[in-house]
Amino acid sequence: MTCFSRGSEDWKWSISKRKAARPAEDAPHLTLYRQQLQLYAYALQKQNGQYPERLWLYWTDEARQERAFMEVPCGRDEIEAVIASVDDLATKIQQRQFAVRTTPPSMICQACDIRSLCRKEGILS
Ligand code: SF4
């Protein structure tokens, strides 16, 4: 992922590049990508005092140019919901309530920094 923002003084847009074709709207990893970008917007807000006006995912391998950009909601409610889900996740980790119940799509695991640990523990073959 590459993130950059346009509008050097007011951080109006944030764009995240993904080296893939645009996925289906119900692709499981799309939710994660959206949340990741919304967390980035939250970090920008903490740094600059305001949220970006618009967030975009840009699919670099999308054959149809008009489908390469995908807007991600960045209203205060959406971002606060993501922050709440991260807080909930952090609480579960602190309480050691974690387990991989179902592995994500292989493309997610291939890009994961701790896949060797999952292989070692038999979660991945
Ligand atoms: S390698 Fe393990 S931790 Fe990483 S995404 Fe896959 S299942 Fe999750």
Cα 12 to ligand 1 centroid, rounded to whole Å? 33
Residue 26 sits in the same domain as residue 59: yes
91 lines ligand 1 (CB under 6 A): no
Tell me if 85 sits within 8 A of 31, measured CB to CB. no
- 113 in the same domain as 70: no
- Please give the distance, rounded to the nearest whole angstrom, from the Cα atom of residue 35 to the centre of ligand 1: 17
pLDDT higher than 70, residue 6: no
| Residue 56: strand pairing partners | 15, 71
Look up residue 25 and give its DSSP letter.
T
Q: In terms of domains, do 17 and 72 share one?
A: yes
17, 37: one domain: yes
Each residue of 47-90: pLDDT tens digit?
A: 888 888 899 999 999 999 999 999 999 888 999 999 999 999 99
Its domain, for residue 108, covers: 99-125
Within this chain, do residues 19 and 46 fall inside the same structural domain, yes or no? Answer: yes
Does residue 14 sit in the same domain as residue 53? yes
Residues 67, 125 within the same domain: no
Instruction: Give the Cα separation of 6 and 32 in Å (integer).
Output: 23
Nearest-CA residue for ligand 1 atom 6 is: 109
Q: Do 89 and 123 fall into the same domain? A: no
Residue range 91-114, pLDDT digits in tens: 998 998 878 888 888 888 988 999
